[in-house]
Amino acid sequence: MQAGGEGDVLVVVDVQRDFCSGGALAVPDGDVVVAPVNRLIEHFRHVVVTQDWHPPDHSSFAVQHPGRQPYEVVEMPYGEQRLWPTHCVQGTPGAEFHPDLRWGRAELIVRKGFRRTIDSYSAFMENDRTTVTGLAGYLRERALKRVFLVGLALDYCVGFSAVDARWLDFEAWLVEDATRAVAVGDSLTQMRLRLEAIGVKHLTTEELLS
Ligand code: VGL
Ligand code: ZN
């Protein structure tokens, strides 16, 4: 496939220590994405990376909700929200990119989830579905129209970024082998159905590079 040139952007979602093995919210096989992601970073002319970046008392952390456990769902003013173990706290080692990730060529780092009262899965929009990160405006101003998504986790931040990319009228592609899921309950099945329904296309790193 002809991809990676002008008009295309690789969006590398949350490849951070806390989502990899030994991390606070480790995604099964999360580290496996680093190798294909690095190949893709080298290939793409334009690369954007995202960084989950929470204050220490973020409202998505289960410890902020007495009597609640990680992975339970609670009602927030903006709707349902899953609670997580404390992860990706601003300035801590867990919030750093995976040490092997070659993110140096990235043209933009989008930080998200920095507002205490709102969680943010998507690289475009926070979970209240109103507050924006600014990424859509950035991509439009730079005439980047095809968004290729990779990173962690497929059923949360990568998936919701793809959903919003489509909703905001970008072409969205998922590079399957360069992403992995947290898989809480049926989160992965749900996300796959949703991505299928809205026309998010998928391919492998090999297909993209050949
Ligand atoms: C993520 C849960 C909480 C992700 C971030 O990057 O998919 N998931 N914060
Ligand atoms: Zn988070």
CB of 176 closer than 8 Å to CB of 203:
yes
Instruction: List phi, psi (to 5°) of 17.
Output: -55, -40
Q: Provide the mean pLDDT of the chain.
A: 97
Domain ranges of the chain: 8-52+95-209
Give the nearest ligand 1 atom to 54 CA. Answer: 9
Please compute the mean of the pLDDT values over residues 68-95 and round it to a whole number. 97
Q: Is the CB of 152 under 6 A from ligand 1?
A: yes
- Cα-based angle 30, 34, 40 (whole degrees, multiple of 5): 135
Cα 77 to the chain's mean position, in Å? Answer: 23
The CA-atom distances, in angstroms, between 177 and each of 32, 65, 68, 180 are: 9, 35, 34, 8
Pocket probe mutation, ligand 1, options 149, 150, 152, 191, max atoms within 8 Å of Cβ: 152
Strand partners, 55: none
Which DSSP helix (H) or strand (E) runs through 118? Answer: none
- Give the C-alpha separation, 76 to 126, whole Å: 13
Minimal-distance CA residue to ligand 1 atom 8: 156
Q: Is the CB of 52 under 6 A from ligand 1?
A: yes
Residue 187 pLDDT: 96
- Residue 156 — very low, low, confident or very high, per pLDDT cuts 50/70/90? very high
Q: Decide yes or no: CATH 3.20.20.480 for domain 8-52+95-209.
A: no
Residue 135 pLDDT: 98
Percent of the chain with pLDDT over 70: 100
User: 0.85 cut: is pTM over it?
Assistant: yes
Residue 127 pLDDT: 95
Please compute the mean of the pLDDT values over residues 109-126 and round it to a whole number. 97
Residue 81 pLDDT: 95
- Give burial (CB, 10 Å; 0-12/13-18/19+) of 71: middle
Please compute the mean of the pLDDT values over residues 83-97 and round it to a whole number. 98
SS3 157: helix
CB atoms < 10 A from the CB of 73, how many?
12
Strand partners, 16: 97
Which of 138, 140, 165 lies closest to 150, judged by CA?
A: 165
- Give the C-alpha separation, 171 to 188, whole Å: 21
- Residue 159 — very low, low, confident or very high, per pLDDT cuts 50/70/90? very high
Please give the positions annotated as active site: 14, 112, 157
- Residue 12 — very low, low, confident or very high, per pLDDT cuts 50/70/90? very high
Q: Give 40-49 pLDDT, tens digit per residue.
A: 999 999 999 9
Residue 77 pLDDT: 95
Please compute the mean of the pLDDT values over residues 50-73 and round it to a whole number. 97
CB of 124 closer than 8 Å to CB of 162:
no
Q: Which residues of 42-68 are buried (b: 16+ CB within 10 A; e: fewer)?
A: ebbebbbbbbbbbeeebbbbbeeeeee
Q: Is the CB of 24 under 6 A from ligand 1?
A: no
Q: Give 20-54 pLDDT, tens digit per residue.
A: 999 999 999 999 999 999 999 999 999 999 999 99
- Cα-based angle 67, 20, 98 (whole degrees, multiple of 5): 125
Measured in Å, residue 198 CA sits from the centre of ligand 1 at 21
Give the nearest ligand 1 atom to 84 CA. Answer: 3
